[in-house]
Structure 1
Amino acid sequence: MQSPPATAPVAAPPERGTSPRRAAPRLVGWLAAAWLGPLLAYALGVAGVLPVVVLGLTAALLRGGRTLLDRLVLAGALLLGAACAAGLLFSAWPWGLHPVPVAGTALTVLLGVAAATGRRPRLPRPVPADLLPVAAALVAAGALAWPYLRAGDLAGRLAYAMTGEDNSRHLATVEGIRAVGGYLFADPSAAARIAPEGMVWYPQGFHLTAALLDGFLRSSTAPAGPASTLDHYLGWSLGAWGLLVLAVTWAANRLAGPRLDLPRAAALTGALTAACLGSELARFVVYGYPGESLGLAATVLLVALACRPVARTGTQLAVVGALCVAVGFAYLMFLPVVAVLVLAWLVRDRRRLRRRPAVLAVVALLTAVLAPLPAVAGLLRTDQVDNVATGGGVFPRYDAFLALAGLVAAGLFAGGLRLPVWRRYAGALAAALAFAGGFLVYFRALGTDPRYYYGKTLHLLLAVLLVGAGAVTLLLPAPGRAAQSRPRAARPHDRAAESRPRAARPHDRAAESRPRAARLRWRTPRPARALAAAAVVLACAGLAGLPRGTGIFAQPFDGRTMTWAAAWWSGTQARPGPAELAVRALAQAPAEAGVVTVVVSDRRREGYLATLFVATLQGTHGASGPAVYRLPLSEPARSAALVERVPGRIRFVAADPAAAGIVEALLAAHPDLAGRVTLQRLR
């Protein structure tokens, strides 16, 4: 009997045609390949292909998702949560993040899953719409990578990286994890010289994932030079941003579902890409928020799967649990909203979940233990609660939020609330809105302007609003004959929807009740539909301010109102002076054991930034912490306070004669410093 097509939502039954006697030698052979393959790839320096192999095999063994991209997104979400959890194992076993044992273990687990379930690797066929979210992610990442690409050298790229000093701390954390082979909190003393103390109990899901993939890409776990270290970190940071755009566009298309044909999907995806680039989400790259990018991407995927679940209960449970763990380890601030979403889904689908009690119990136990682990550890060991009220004021563009909310609400009230998927989305939007509103009320109660972390709640609200942008399609007539006549296997429903009676399927029921002529009234020629989609994307690009940088999300920058992306592209936020000084110090003042290197400049903040990034790129950020943080930013007060804070040996690196004079005056006033303080003039 011929098996169903690969794109069919109904999966084939387990294939168990091989007898146990014949299966045993085959399993032994595959097990040997699972370890010899990574060993050979590592020896040849091509271990970078191994994560792709693991992703492909995971997707091929899953049974859920209609298209190839759906399957890959589900597999990626599952592997992200698994990597965050497995980081605890990597921190304990003797091999750390070495590519061979990590890949060998992953392939062995996949082999065990295949043997236990009887599944053979099988992937759905790709469809043209799969390319849209992928293209959106590539365009968005490439657009924000452009300043780094045009910079040309280390000093140029470092000038842009210095826009957000958080880049130094995240880079040092990635390198600290690579050095110790696991999470910093598992062995804080081992990374004390490399990673900053404040990052030891910070959520490290992004950092461990980046360090793990970096070992595969390099086919090595050894430390690299400053230029290579910075370039790789920037690549992973941009990758996390691209993953966020992929998640937003994929989730929006998934929620819109049957209302989309290819032109409408292209219009929706292009509009969302423009919105991501024109909104404050672009700030994640400008200021260096890779952990938030990854955590928000996982949260967005959870919104999509909570509103339109995967047909197979086991797959849905595993992916939702993995995403909860990923959020907890990457950016735990979003966990309250995630908890509300998951609890609502569990209650709503309780009858379906009762059919898999063992899977539900195992996933629930692992998720309940692992997801809040970084939050609990951080609360017990640090003052994270007090940090909520710190940071600068946040003054968002509420008119932009109002415009987006109005568009989404129009679609919901135009018929979306009659459909289960959009009712669930309305609940998710209400949870995000309540989360942001709660923080606003909290700060008002304190009698202050909303602070830094209120902005994070608005980032979540913005992402949820963008995911719901597909509700606008509910205002339009249903797609025409070409969309209605697609093969059954290619229609964008899940298997559960296909198995229900026609009256209960999540279509636009108002459209189902209309005469056929009314339902098929949109018969615009294909070229016209393509042009209409392009016009929608251009209109949204204009509203987002991509041509001139003055869109609805524009902010004041140095006396000019523009978007974050426009400010980034213009180069006005770059720090060429500190970057050039840092590169000179890296070349002329290599790191010395037991010596803290301090760059001195008579320009405010220049010495601070140069010292910060020199320490990071030399692998001494943790040891140099007392010479960087909680000190005056201007000379000569900075150097005077620094010698009192740092008890050990200090090497001052002077940018010019004026900076050297500051140190010489300090040494003349305090002769007792001569034994542990030295001065080096840069050429």
Structure 2
Amino acid sequence: MPSQLTTAPAAAPEGAAPPRRPVRPALRLAGWLALAWLGPLLAYAVGAAGVLPVVVFGLAAGLLRAGRTLLDRLVLAGALLFGAVCAAGLLISAWPWGLHPVPVAGAALTGLLGVAAATGRRPRLPRPEAADLLAVGAAVLAALAMAGPYLRAGDLAGRLAYAMTGEDNSRHLAAVQGIGAVGGYLFTDPQAAARTTPEAMVWYPQGFHLTAALLDGFLRSGAPADPVTALDHYLGWAIGAWAALVLAVLWAALRLAGRRLDLPGTLALTGAVTAACLGSELARFVVYGYPGESVGLAATVVLVAVTCRPLARTRTQLCVVGALCVAVGFAYLMFLPVVAALVLAWLVRDRGRLRHHPLLLAAVALATVALTPLPAVGGLLHTDQVDNVATGGGVFPRYDAFLALGGLVAAGLAGGGLRLPVWRRYAGALGAAVAFAAGFLIYFRALGTDPRYYYGKTLHLLLAVLLVGAGALTLLLPAGWRRPPGRAGAAAAGRAGAGGRPGRRWHGLDRPARFLVAAAVVAACAGLAGLPRGTGIFAQPFGDRTTTWSAAWWSGLLDRPRPADVTARALAQAPPRPGAVTVVVSTHRREGYLATLFLSTLQGTAGASGPAVYQLPLSEPARSAALVEAVPGPVRFVAADPAAARIVEDLLAARPDLRPRVTTQTLH
């Protein structure tokens, strides 16, 4: 029987006022809210707005509780923020402040403050581990390797020589500049974007471009950028997107490999995957300028990881999956069929967990379904995207390299991986990527043509998924390479080291040998990838030379110094003329086209100059003759040399009616 002896609360003195509710938490919240807006305002005033994205990123990672390591937190925070930026771009495009750093940072910090207040969390980050540093260091090293040609170029012409290898760089730069000028997505104001941006980019997925323009505004604290600075910053964001792809592939491979992989094994896997990224066609993303595909593929790879090995916290898992779907839809929508297959399979498998969070599931599903296909629907309604699938040059991939990677991954899966749920799920993701690529191949075969440009994009996805699966090979490693699970495993390893089987020893004396083996594995993979001489399994013909994309990039085989020099001189000597379209004329085939393309982008007139660039002959004098018919208004021809100037003089002599609207300038 419970005791009846209880202590009665002391009576309040007669006439005393009732106790007040504590107001300190409310005051503290109001103070943090004020700081969320005063901090960005002060940073902007002193020209230090560039620190604000770092603060937002750090706070977002600190408020997460999913993920065991610091790298987990950073990758997941990056996924959430990128998806949030893509979605918030619609609001930014509508509000009156555009991309101004103060309202953007203030809104972001206010949102994070709301998360902290609702969850009761305070920012907290795990300590970095050696494996985290290996992955981040490898991604930074890969980025520096691909940035090398830009870094060693001494001037604008030198950087342009490499940027002009892929003419897509001009269009992506124009889109970034256009978003900065419009103050949001280009498709929200097509008329304002018409001057600065090519028509084809108005409805192109702009997740990367909006993010780059947003970050660039912070970096410059809102100050306008001159053409040289705009190009340099764009190249930095493009290489950063590629670094994010490498980091995403590394993180996904390590996540699927699991926590039992020890430090030497982590070194071997990280080095092997990084070598493959540098030696394979993924390096082409920097060479030809595919930053949107870089971030879209990175988001898809992270989605593979979190659907194959879901996060322990269901709410966070839901939000991350939704953010990644939106990110892919706004960055590179071509991967959406595989994304849909991954998400549907995860929803079916984990329906028991999700059933306990019906409201959050409904909210995330509604937002994801509404936002993810938005760029695709807009593009289908306003452009001919479906017809573009069958355009572009032929694609002739190195199938032997895919066979080698596929065989290695299959060996790991057959060697015990399929007994584990995470690897069975990965096998399904790999099957979806294979089916996606095979579907495109069958489509082109049915058309009776060689596989075209976009078939290569499906192979990029397949290659990335195969590299993520490289962690399956860790299942074939000796037991000494795998971290013992917890104290019981450590004790068992100690007993084995004292007198058990040598293969299961976990002793300090074994570590040097394992590190030597890991270094040998990395060296072997670097050789297979062709990093020393460019003759690896991914090598392909470049004219009369067979090498890899990265080796051709480093050697200067692909740069274009002549059109770059002409463009740099035209930028300095022929400033934009209001109302007139500026066109570069050269006696060399494609040189006038490339120089006009990049000159118009750097001068911020890529949209207005579109009729003078596209759908025209590439050689003179046919190009100039067709150009004056395509452009109805004033035209200024900028001749690269006296020989090019004579082409325009001959045209005017034959067509004197053009003289009122055509002028000529010769560069010196």
**Which category describes the TM-score, using the shorter chain as reference length?**
over 0.9
**Aligned residue among 495, 504, 520 for 1:520:** 504
The 2-side partners of 1:70 and 1:120 are apart by 18
The 1-side partners of 2:170 and 2:487 are apart by 52
Q: Is 1:594 aligned with 2:569?
A: no
Per the alignment, residue 533 of structure 2 pairs with 548
SS of structure 1 residue aligned to 2:49: coil
For 1:272-291, what aligned pairs fall within 5 Å after superposition? 272-291=273-292
Contact 1:548 1:566 in 2 (8 A): yes
C-alpha displacement at 1:349, in angstroms?
0.4
Contact 2:326 2:368 in 1 (8 A): yes
Q: Is 1:579 aligned with 2:555?
A: no
Per the alignment, residue 13 of structure 1 pairs with none
Per the alignment, residue 117 of structure 1 pairs with 119
Q: Match for 1:133: what amino acid?
A: A
Q: Match for 1:40: what amino acid?
A: L
Q: Match for 1:65: what amino acid?
A: G
Q: Is 1:484 aligned with 2:484?
A: yes
Per the alignment, residue 558 of structure 1 pairs with 543
C-alpha displacement at 1:90, in angstroms?
0.5
Contact 1:259 1:479 in 2 (8 A): no
The 2-side partners of 1:616 and 1:181 are apart by 18
C-alpha displacement at 1:172, in angstroms?
0.2
SS of structure 2 residue aligned to 1:282: helix
Per the alignment, residue 662 of structure 1 pairs with 647
Q: Match for 1:182: what amino acid?
A: G
Per the alignment, residue 495 of structure 1 pairs with none
Structure 1 residues 19 and 147, CA, compared in 2 at 3 Å: closer, same or farther? farther
C-alpha displacement at 1:538, in angstroms?
0.4
Per the alignment, residue 496 of structure 1 pairs with none
For 1:284-433, what aligned pairs fall within 5 Å after superposition? 284-433=285-434
Contact 2:265 2:481 in 1 (8 A): no
**Aligned residue among 595, 613, 618 for 1:610:** 595
Contact 2:260 2:485 in 1 (8 A): no
C-alpha displacement at 1:479, in angstroms?
3.3
The 2-side partners of 1:480 and 1:654 are apart by 65
Contact 1:61 1:119 in 2 (8 A): yes
| Superposition TM-score, scaled by structure 1 size | 0.92
For 1:607-646, what aligned pairs fall within 5 Å after superposition? 607-646=592-631
Contact 2:253 2:467 in 1 (8 A): yes
The 2-side partners of 1:218 and 1:393 are apart by 41
C-alpha displacement at 1:115, in angstroms?
0.9
Per the alignment, residue 506 of structure 1 pairs with none
Q: Match for 1:590: what amino acid?
A: P
Contact 1:251 1:304 in 2 (8 A): yes
C-alpha displacement at 1:477, in angstroms?
2.2
Structure 1 residues 516 and 315, CA, compared in 2 at 3 Å: closer, same or farther? farther
Contact 1:35 1:104 in 2 (8 A): yes
C-alpha displacement at 1:123, in angstroms?
1.4
123-132 vs 624-633, which moves further: 123-132
RMSD: 1.7
Per the alignment, residue 682 of structure 1 pairs with 667
SS of structure 2 residue aligned to 1:623: coil
SS of structure 1 residue aligned to 2:479: coil
C-alpha displacement at 1:62, in angstroms?
1.2
Contact 1:480 1:519 in 2 (8 A): no
Per the alignment, residue 568 of structure 1 pairs with 553
- Render the CA deviation track for 1:419-438: whole Å, top value 9, x for unaligned: 00000000000000000000
For 1:435-446, what aligned pairs fall within 5 Å after superposition? 435-446=436-447
Per the alignment, residue 186 of structure 1 pairs with 188
C-alpha displacement at 1:519, in angstroms?
6.8
C-alpha displacement at 1:405, in angstroms?
0.3
- Render the CA deviation track for 1:439-482: whole Å, top value 9, x for unaligned: 0000000000000000000000000000000101111222369x
Per the alignment, residue 169 of structure 1 pairs with 171
The 2-side partners of 1:409 and 1:195 are apart by 46
C-alpha displacement at 1:516, in angstroms?
7.1
The 2-side partners of 1:479 and 1:104 are apart by 51
**Aligned residue among 145, 148, 154 for 2:147:** 145
Per the alignment, residue 497 of structure 1 pairs with none
SS of structure 2 residue aligned to 1:119: coil
C-alpha displacement at 1:61, in angstroms?
1.0
Gaps of 5+ in 1: 1-17, 492-511
For 1:20-169, what aligned pairs fall within 5 Å after superposition? 21-169=23-171
**Aligned residue among 531, 535, 540 for 2:516:** 531
The 2-side partners of 1:266 and 1:324 are apart by 31
- Render the CA deviation track for 1:286-313: whole Å, top value 9, x for unaligned: 0000000000000000000000111000
SS of structure 2 residue aligned to 1:358: helix
Q: Match for 1:290: what amino acid?
A: P
Greater CA radius of gyration, 1 or 2? 2
375-384 vs 431-440, which moves further: 375-384
Per the alignment, residue 267 of structure 2 pairs with 266
C-alpha displacement at 1:530, in angstroms?
1.2
C-alpha displacement at 1:78, in angstroms?
0.1
- Render the CA deviation track for 1:167-222: whole Å, top value 9, x for unaligned: 000000000001111000000111111111100000000000100000011111x4
Gaps of 5+ in 2: 1-19, 491-495
C-alpha displacement at 1:132, in angstroms?
1.4
- Render the CA deviation track for 1:80-128: whole Å, top value 9, x for unaligned: 0000000000000000011000000000011111111111111122211
Per the alignment, residue 197 of structure 2 pairs with 195
